[in-house]
Chains A and B, each alone.
Chain A
C-alpha cells in the first residue's frame, strides 16, 4: 500500500491533476481509472472499438438487465465470456438476460467490425482492462514504483471480474479480494493502528540545515506524537516513532520522502541522509545528477500505536467449515487459448484458510465473481481475504 501526503478528491476531470480538491493529509493512494461494468462500448469514426468513459447507469442499465438498455456494456461482455453467472446475479435475486447481451454486442460491435461475436466481447473486456492498467501504470510511474512490489486490491461488483487480467497486464504478482468489499472503508477504520502525523515544511539546503534547531523541532514533534497517542489510550512502550524528510535535488519540484536516522542528529548523519536519498533516487529514476546540493522541503514525524486485535465474524461465512467449496463448473473464455474451457466454480463463503487451489477458476459470492486465469493459485487467509498469486 502506498501512502500519499497530498491527495485530490472530487476531480472535475478524470485523471486530471489540479481539477479536484486537495487533502493535505496522509491518505491511501487511490487510483482512479474511470472504467467499470457500466462503461459503454461503441465504434468511433475511425472504425475502432472504444469502451467508456461514458457509462450506462443502473436504469435502464446494460441490455442484459432487460430494462430496455440497448448500448452494449462491459457487463454484457463479461456475461458472454462466461465470467458472470446469469443464474447467480446478486446471489440469484436479479434476473439477467444473456440473449439481450449477445444481441447488443453482435449488432452494435461485432457486425460493424466484421468480427466474431466472442472476439467482440473479449475486445470489450480487454479494452476496459487496458484502461484500468494504463491508469495503474501511470500512477505507479508517477511515484516511481516497481509494479512487482505492489498488490492489487479488488473490490466492488466488476473489480474482481477484471482484476486478474489487469494485474497480468501491469505485471502485478498478487491480488487481494477482501471479504464484505462493500464495507471496506468502515471496517478498515477499526482495524488500523492509532497514528499521529506531523509535518513541518521548511525549505533549506540539507548541507545548511541548522542541526541544533532541527533536533529541537524533531524532539518537540516526537513528544507531541507521544502525548496525542497516550491521550488516545496507547501505552508509551507501544509507540513507534518514524522520522522522514522530503528531499529533492536543488531546483527540482517533486521531493521523495525518505527515512532519516533516529535520535539526535549530528553532522555525520547528513551523509547518511544523502546516501539514502541518492539510492532511492537511482532506484526510482535510474540516473541521477552528481554534485547538486540536496534540498529539504520538510520534516515528517509519525507516531504509531499497536495494531488492534480485531476478529471479524461475517454472518454469511460459516465459522467452521467442512463443506466442499467446489460448487460446480462453467465454461469461460480463456484468452490464451482463444476459446472456452470448463473451469471449477467455488463458493467464496465455503473457502477455508489453509486451502489452496489452482487457476483457472471462478469464485462466486453474492455481489461479484472473481475470475482467476491460468498459471496462478489462490487461497484465503485467516481474515478471509482471498489471495491470488500470479
Chain B
C-alpha cells in the first residue's frame, strides 16, 4: 500500500501526534470548564479538521454524537464563513441544532489554524454548557423557542477580541452567565493550545500544511472500513425498535443495505416528528448511525472522515429522525440513542458475532433547579447510566454509558451543586437480561430534597415501558422507573419537588446474549459472590443447583 509522498513511519508518527494534540486540548477543556456536564461527564469533543472541514482526528473521550456531527457542522459553517474570512484569532460559534449536534445546549466553535500566514485547518470544539436559557431541559416543550437561546452562526471572536454584543446577548439569556462564558473561554484556551501544537508539528516535520497527511489518513481509514464492509454479506436487513415516547410509543424503523463495500442506512417508516422534544436532527442521526457501524466493523481505526465515507444515512423529512424546524429537539438523545439498537437488530443475522444486545439506554439525566432563600440560583444536570447489552463473548457492563460516552456525575458533585442528598446509589441486582452472557445491571438512585424551597425537576429517561432486547435466546433487560414519594410519575414531564420529598430513579438494564442454560457455572457463581445475582434467580434462570453460601441473599 506504499504510495508516494508520506512514508508509513512518518505517517504513523504524525497520525499519533494529531490524536495526542486533540487529547491535550481535551484536557485543557476539562481543566478550565465550568459546566459539570463538561468537566465531570465529559460531554464535549475536540476534532482537528482540514481546510474543507473534514475530520482528521479527535480526542479519545469525545462523545460519538459530537464527533460524527462536528465535521458536518464545520462544513456548514464554512459555507457561511469561507476560509478567506478567517483571521488567526477568530472563532465562529453556533448552537443551531440542525447545523450542530441536535440541541441548543451544545455550543460548537471553529477556530482556524494558521501556519506561515496560510490557513491550514481548523480546531472544532463542541461542549454541552450548563444552560442555554428557556425551559428547564425536558421533552415537555412544544417547539424550539421554548428550549432557549438560538445562536445562529456568528463571529464570536475576531482578532482575539470577543464580540461584546454577542456575549452580552448570551449572558442575558442564560441562568448562569459566568459558567457559560467560562465554558466559552475553555473553547478558546483549548483551541489556542491545539493550534500552537499543530504549528510546532508542521515546523518539526518541515511540512507546509496538513493536506498530504490528511489525505493519506482518510484514504487508509476508508480502505480499512471498506475492506471490513466487504466481508458482510450483501443484502437488505430490516428491524424496528419502539421507544416510550411522550405518551405514545415512537417507532424507529431501519433498513440497512449492504452492497459491496458501501452501506446505506435508511429510516423510512420511522414515526413522524412529534410536538414534544423527542426529535433528532439528521446530523445527530448520522453520527450515531456511523458510530454503530464503525463499532461493528472497524473499531480499531481512529475516527476520521475516511471511515465515514462508505456510509450513507437517510431519514424521511418530517420524521423524528429528520424533523423540520422549529420542531422541539432538546430530548433528541431519547430517540437518537436507540439507533445502535435498531442497527444491531437489523444486522444481527448478518454478523451475529459482532452485534451486542440492546443496552439500558439512552443515558438518563436528572435536572434540578431552583432559587434558595438567599436568592442564589442553582441548577445542575446529572447523568445516570444503565446496563450495557451483552455480546457473543462478553457480559454487558453494569451502569455503562452506551452508545454515548458520558460519565456518571459523582454524588459529591451533585450534592455540592444542588440541595439534594443522595441516600442510596446501588446496582440493581438481577436486573440485567439473563443469558449465556448477561446484560449489564441498571442502578437505583434515591434522592431526598434538603431544600427549604421547591425544586423544579426534569428528566431524560426512556425504556420505562420498552425493555432493552436480548439476542439469540438472551432475555430482555429490566425496564426503568421513576417514583416521587412512592408514586410512579411520567418522567417526560416536569415535576416539582417539595422540601423533604424523596425521588427514586431506577435506570434500565441491558439485554442478554445466548441461552441462559449455556452460561458457565463459574460465571454464575461469580455473580452470586459479587451480589449481582440472587440465589433464587440463579436457580430459576440458570438451573444452578449448588449451595452457594457466599451469596448475600435476600
Residues of A within 8 A of B (CB): 44-50, 113-115, 119-120, 122-123, 126-127, 130-131, 134, 137-138, 141-142, 144, 169, 171, 203, 249-254, 285-289, 291-292
Contact = CB atoms under 8 A, between A and B. Distances in A.
Contacts of A46: 1, 220-221, 223-224, 301
B20 interface: yes
Contacts of B188: 286-287
A138 B182 contact: no
Contact of A49 (B12, B31, B204, B301): B12
B16 A134 contact: yes
Interface string B5-30: 00111011101110010011001101
Contacts of B27: 138, 141-142
B12 A50 contact: yes
B416 interface: yes
A287 B189 contact: yes
Given A48-B11, A48-B12, A249-B34, A134 B185 contact: no
Nearest to B302: A46
Nearest to B23: A138
Contact of A141 (B9, B39, B193): B193
Q: Give chain B's interface residue range (CB within 8 Å of chain A).
A: 35 or more
Contacts of A119: 7, 9
30 contacts: A45-B301, A46-B223, A47-B8, A48-B11, A49-B9, A115-B7, A120-B9, A123-B9, A123-B12, A130-B16, A130-B17, A134-B17, A137-B197, A141-B28, A171-B200, A203-B416, A249-B34, A253-B39, A254-B30, A285-B32, A286-B188, A286-B189, A286-B192, A286-B193, A287-B189, A289-B182, A289-B185, A291-B178, A292-B178, A292-B182
Contacts of B262: none
A253 B221 contact: no
A138 B181 CA distance: 25
Contacts of B11: 48
B33 interface: yes
Given A47-B220, A138-B27, A253 B9 contact: no
Contacts of A291: 178
Contacts of B20: 134, 137-138
B50 to A, nearest CB: 19
Given A120-B9, A131-B16, A292-B178, 5 more contacts: A46-B1, A46-B223, A115-B8, A144-B31, A169-B204
B13 A45 contact: no
B33 A252 contact: yes
Contacts of B375: none
B159 to A, nearest CB: 14
B212 to A, nearest CB: 15
Residue from A46, A127, A285, A288 whose CB has the most chain B CB atoms within 10 Å: A46
Interface string B33-66: 1101001100000000000000000000000000
A207 B366 CA distance: 32
A50 B8 CA distance: 10
B2 A253 contact: no
B164 interface: no
Contacts of B40: 253
Interface in B289-319: 300-301
A334 B179 CA distance: 51
Nearest to B179: A251
A45 B178 contact: no
Nearest to B25: A141
Contacts of B33: 252-253
Contacts of B181: 289
Contact of A115 (B9, B200, B221): B9
Contact of A285 (B9, B28, B39): B28
A24 to B, nearest CB: 14
A249 B413 CA distance: 16
B381 to A, nearest CB: 14
Residue from B32, B178, B188, B193 whose CB has the most chain A CB atoms within 10 Å: B32
Interface string B165-194: 000000000001011011001001100110
B8 A252 contact: no
B10 to A, nearest CB: 8
Given A134-B16, A254-B39, A142 B182 contact: no
A285 B31 contact: yes
Contacts of A250: 178
B41 to A, nearest CB: 11
A253 to B, nearest CB: 4
Contacts of A114: 2
